[in-house]
Each structure stands twice: as C-alpha cells, then as structure tokens.
Structure 1
Amino acid sequence: MKILVVGGGGREHALCWALAASPLCDELYCAPGNAGIAEEATCLEIGAEDVDALVTAATDRAIDLAVVGPEAPLVAGLVDALEGAGVKTFGPSKAAAELEGSKAFAKELCAKHGIPTPAFQRFTDAEDAKAYAASQPLPIVVKADGLASGKGVTVCQTHGEAERAIDAALVDKRFGAAGDSVIVEQCLSGQEVSAFALVDGETALMLPCAQDHKPAYDGDTGPNTGGMGAYSPTPLVDEPTAELIHATILQPTVEAMKAEGRPFKGLLYAGLMMTPDGPQVLEYNVRFGDPECQVLVMRLMSDLLPALMAACDGVLDSFDMRWFAETAVSVVIAARGYPGSYQKGEPIGGLDALKAEEDLVVFHAGTKADADGSVRANGGRVLTVTALGGTLEEARERAYTAIDRIDWPGGFCRRDIGWRALAKPTIETED
C-alpha cells in the first residue's frame, strides 16, 4: 500500500514510525514532514493546510490511504477534498471535525445528548461574559471557542483574571477568529485524563488512556502549552473506569454525532476530568493527541495500518487491538521561551547515538535537517523523547537519561513528567 501522512509534528513522526513498520506499507510519504520523519518516509514540501496541493500529490501518487494528523486541515475539510478525489482517508469530515473546531458546538452537543460536561455559557459580547463570570464561584474557566493551538484556555483564580481572559479573546483578538466567541465554564476538581477511540461512524473502539501535562513548567506551573509530556497507562483508569468512559462518553458521542447528521470517522479524543461524580468532558479533539500519540504507538503491539483501514471501512465492531502492558513516558524538549517567542536554527547534537537504544525513540516535531544531515531546531516543541519500561519509574528514568545525552543548550523540558501517578493519585474531592 501507498500511504500519505499529513503533518510535520511529533504526532506525525509517531504515526510514520508505526506505519513504516507495517508489512502492508510499501511506500510512505509525509507532507511536509521534518528531519526525523525523513528517516521513515519520503517528505513532500507541501503544507498541511494546502488542500489543493495535497489532493494533487495524493492522486498523482495513487495513494491508497491518507492519514491526516493535525486539527487545522481536518477542520478546513481536507478529508472531504481527498475522499472527493477518490483517496481513502483516515480522519473526520469537515462537519464532524467541528467537534474540535468549535468548543461551543461540542458543549452544546453534550448538553443536548446527556453526555456529562461542566456547566457553561457561550458569549460573543465581552461585557455579558464578564457579568456572567462575576456571578460564578471561583475558580472559573474561560475558553476561546475555536482552534488556538492548545493556548486558548485560561483557568482563572480571580474574577479580574477572568475579565482579562475574556478581553484577550473578544476585545484584543489575541486568538483571531478563534476568539470571536468564548465559553465561560465551571471549573471542576479532579485530575485530567485523555481518552481515545478509533471510530468508524458507528463503533467506538477504545484505546488505552493517557495523562498529558499542559503547563510549561514543573509542578504544573507556567502558561499552558500544546503538551510537555505524557504517560500511559494511567492509574486513574482501571478496567471498570474504562468501561464507564466508553459507555457514558465515547460511544454516546459517536451516536450523538450520527444523530446530528455528522457521522464521525477517525480518532476521537475526549479530554476528561475525573470527578467524584464520574468522568466529565472538558473538550474533544478529532485527531491523535501530541504527545499522547507517542506513548500510544510505543505501547501498540498490533499493526496500526489495518486498524486505521478498519475505521475507514466501517468494520471496527469485529476488530481488536493488542497492547503491551509496559508503561510508556514521553517528555517534550521545547525551545526556551516556548510557548512565547523562541529562537530557531540552533543545532542539536547527540541524536544519532540514541538510535540504537532499546525501548527508546526520539520523535521529532519542530526540526529541520541541513544538507549534511545535521539537525536544527525549527519550532516551539522540538523533540519528544519516548521510552518504554516495566514501570513508570523505569520508563521515566530511561527517557531522562536519554535527554541528558542530547546536546542542545537552547532547549528545556519538564523534569516531573508522571509526578501525579508517582504520588499515588486519587480522584480529588471538593472541600
């Protein structure tokens, strides 16, 4: 089979790494790719949102399956365009991708179909939003409605902070059109879990859960990012809890989307808060998480390619996937200054020596290669060091030992990935 992966981040490197290992994969392409992906696939100099060029590339190369990684091209309708040109594609349609493209749509879908989610209101007027926020108990959450690269959510400890977050979106237009409306939402107590399912329009085939780390610095401090690390499995989700998540959230979401005339195919990702009253939906994504995809592929025992094909072909009800019991940990190395301004172009050394390490993969995100093959930083989140181990402690030690061998003074990482699990987390109760 000829496969095209769309995107150029750590998630796409993880997907390419897994797909390249499939005996069914004869040719693998990635657009635009990065320095690490180039070792697994032929990289095409086409942007992930250049719909026309991607369709042309896929049809010219007789691609058998396209896999769309990032959210922006999904929301823009890339899947519709590829399938309209006769290219089988893993990912949701434009109509179904609104589940991530609009937080208001997602919240209203939950409310309509009885899927547990925190209380909320949607606003387009800043003064109305501020008045509502002022009437609510603290803390309170303000979210830009549209896509904001994981940076449009503010957990506000004071009403003044809520006002500033509302103004940033609705008045200052910090998030552009993504902030034309905002969600003001109840802040729940508990820990967050990332839940995943492959979906074929009818069936949600649940994958292992993970826990992500959004704040930039140790102890969950600093600004929110696209993700600074993850681990799977999480002790918060045992088998009965996984069954509860599937029965009350994942499968009902698939049925709700079908009822709304927006059948969902692809990867459904529910960001959940684990509360004393059960899991509740904070948000949906319509693609693999990053850096959660990295830990999932490290734990995957099955061939990924047939699973993606089964989702496209509508046969997940008879499909099964196998997973290693070991724990996977991913640690993101980002450019200093991220998620704010940062430098590009600094050389990164020590990567070649890590390629032979067992149960360790350095997935590339924001990298580019020079003509001589040397690697340079080319983004905010640059590398994701991912390790497998018999325990969380073992996997984490393996990842950090590898990081200490990478020569990049301009990078930084969190040193506490997995700290909640190591602290024997429980579902927190409100005072």
Structure 2
Amino acid sequence: MLELRFVRENLELVRQKSLLRGVDPQLIDRFAATDQKRLATIAEVEALKNRRNTVSKTIASLKQSGDNGLAEPLIKEMRQVSDRIKELDTELADIEHELQDVIMAIPNLCDDSVPAGGGEQDNVEIKRWGAIPAFSFQPRPHWEIGEQLGILDFETASRLAGARFALLKGFGSRLSRALVNFFLDLHTQRHGYTEVLPPFMVNAKTMTGTGQLPKFKEDLFKVEGWDLWLIPTAEVPVTNMYAETTIDEADLPLKHTAYTPCFRSEAGSYGKDTRGLIRQHQFEKVELVKFTTPEASWDELETLLADAEAALQLLELPYRVITLCTGDLGFSAAKTYDIEVWLPGQNCYREISSCSNFLDFQARRAGIRYRPKGEKKSRLVHTLNGSGLAVGRTLLAILENYQQADGTVRLPGALEPYFQTRF
C-alpha cells in the first residue's frame, strides 16, 4: 500500500496516476474526505484533553484553597468533556478503520516509463525472440494434440471437479514434471535463486501482505471454516516469508524460486479461454521472487525478465516481450513486463510470464524492511516477482510448436536429460 502521509501530501499526483489505471476518482475523494475528518477529530480530541488538563489543575488549586463552590461547575464540565472524549475516541477508531480500507484499495503508482493506455490493446511490444515455426500441415491446438495422444483428458477432469480443470496422463504428466525440474534446476544452478517449498494454503494476513486481500477476495478459494486460503501464486507465501522482519543489507538481493500449484476462481473471465489449458482453476508455476534495495530494484527487474526469458530460449520457443500499459497493470505493480509465447495452433501469442516491480508497495503492507550498512534506522525493501515459468502454458506451447505431421510431438533438446532412464 501507499504511505498515508505520501497520499495526503501528493493527492493530485495519486489522483492522476490512479486515473491512468482506471480507478474511480471517487476513491481518492473518499480518501481526502476521510483523512480530513480524521485530522479534525484528532484536533478536537487533543483540544479537549488540553482543556481537561488545564482545568484539572485549576480544580485542584481551588479545592486546595477551599473554593469548592467555584470548583463544582468546573468538575461538572470536565465530566462532560471526558464523556465527549470517549465518544470521539470511538468515532476516531471507526474513521481510522475506514481510512485503512480506503488506503488499502488505492493501487500502486505506475512508473513514469509505463505507457498510458486503457487495456491490453495499448500494451507496447518491445522485442521478439526466435523464429515462428513453419509447418507443411495445418498446425493444431494443444487440446486436439493432447487428446489424440491420450495425454490430456478434460472429460474425466470435468467429472472429477467440473469445468476449467485438466487431467494429464503418461507423457503429459511426465512432461509437466520434467518442466518443473528443468525450471528449478535452471534458476537455482544458473541464476542463483534459492529454492523453497512453501505451504499451498495461507492465512488472510499473508494474503493481505501481497495485495490479494481485501481487493481480490472474489478471485480466491477459501477453506470453509478455517482462516486458510488456497494460494493463487507462490508469490504470496514466498514474499511473506520475511513479513515483519528486518533483513541485513549485506544479504540483499535475496532471490527465491518455488514450485507450487496455484488456485484461482477466474472471477469475471467466464466465457474466455474455455478450451484447453490456458485458463484453469488449478495450474502450476515456478515462481521467482526478489527482495532488494530501492537503488537496485529497476536493474533487478531487467535481470528477472532475462531469467524468465532464458527458460524459453533454452526450450527454443519463440516469444515476445511487452510492457503493460497503465490500464492493464496489476494492482500492486509499478511496472510489468509480460512474456508471451507463440502458439501456432491458435495463431497468436499468449502470456506465459509476468515480471513485475512492486517497489515498496508490498513491503509496507507486509512490514518487510532492511537495515542499511552503518545506519540505525531501517528502510522498506523493494519486492519483485515473475513466473519462471507457468508450467501448463509451457507444456501446451511445446505441444503446439513441436508437433509433427504424423501427430507425434518432438521433445525439446533441453528436456532430453529429464527423460533418460535412470532406474
């Protein structure tokens, strides 16, 4: 979240940046009104307390001199003042709760380098990598390839769990597992990330720390009767590993990678991507999370992007990188690069990774700080995360890009070691 004082002192900047993101300006108006009400209430409480302190001394002096008649009306007045202070304290608690709700609903400020725009049509392509494959036949979408090979079973998954689930079998399951191992090996052995295996369920405080709650409650799955939520991404537990802690600057940057299943209700997406593996309620990712100093965070975003790109390059999957515009930017991000892989069976690019810099937005919510060398006062870290990569979407990209005329699928060279017989 943004700092309350910063929003108060830069109200017009926050208003303009929020408008670029499509935020209802009434939210900022509500902040201004609630903040002014809070300040006025605090001022009234302080004035009444000062009055009570001053008069209490007068009452004591009058009683000491025996002027009880003069003291009595003052005592009565102070009873009324105390009652009023109690009323205002209750009002102030409600006002501060409302103000917290408002400040938690204001998105991060987009960086000045983020292109203005209203939605995905205004995102800006910055580069492409790899040659789009040419086929001597009409390339098919992955759901047709997978069902013909008997490695994707959507019908059984639907019986087991309903729509937007998939069941992988045989080569499909093994390919998925190989991709997980390939991504983790790449990022730990070549890129210097430390692997973690976090819980797949977290509490509401953890969800709040990275910005999923309260704003995106409808996109999440909750365990009934428990303060537990299924994670929508490993970003949530991995970032919150350091909640309410102070990291030594010498330990920065901290870099973690984690494989987890992810769970999303996909609220508001009904009717979109109903076929195949594109948009599922349950999917798998290998996530990349960084903690760094403010001075280094923009450079770290570029290396984060390069780390995610490396996975696609080693798999020889063509892709492009786009910068998300202000209207398509995620709630917590100051800037985001999307990597989109080419899918010949659908004749389009589709997102396979998002790499974002959140600056201190998440760190303020979660209380993640670091202590600069030689300084006593701690500062908020900057957090970043990206997919390295989405497993299901990489799998379908392999099926579509490596499909053969006879209906088989060729294996990318980078994955061959994971299919060698070891037993």
- TM-score, normalised by the number of residues in structure 1: 0.25
More helix, by proportion: 2
Highest CA radius of gyration, 1 or 2? 2
- TM-score, normalised by the number of residues in structure 2: 0.25
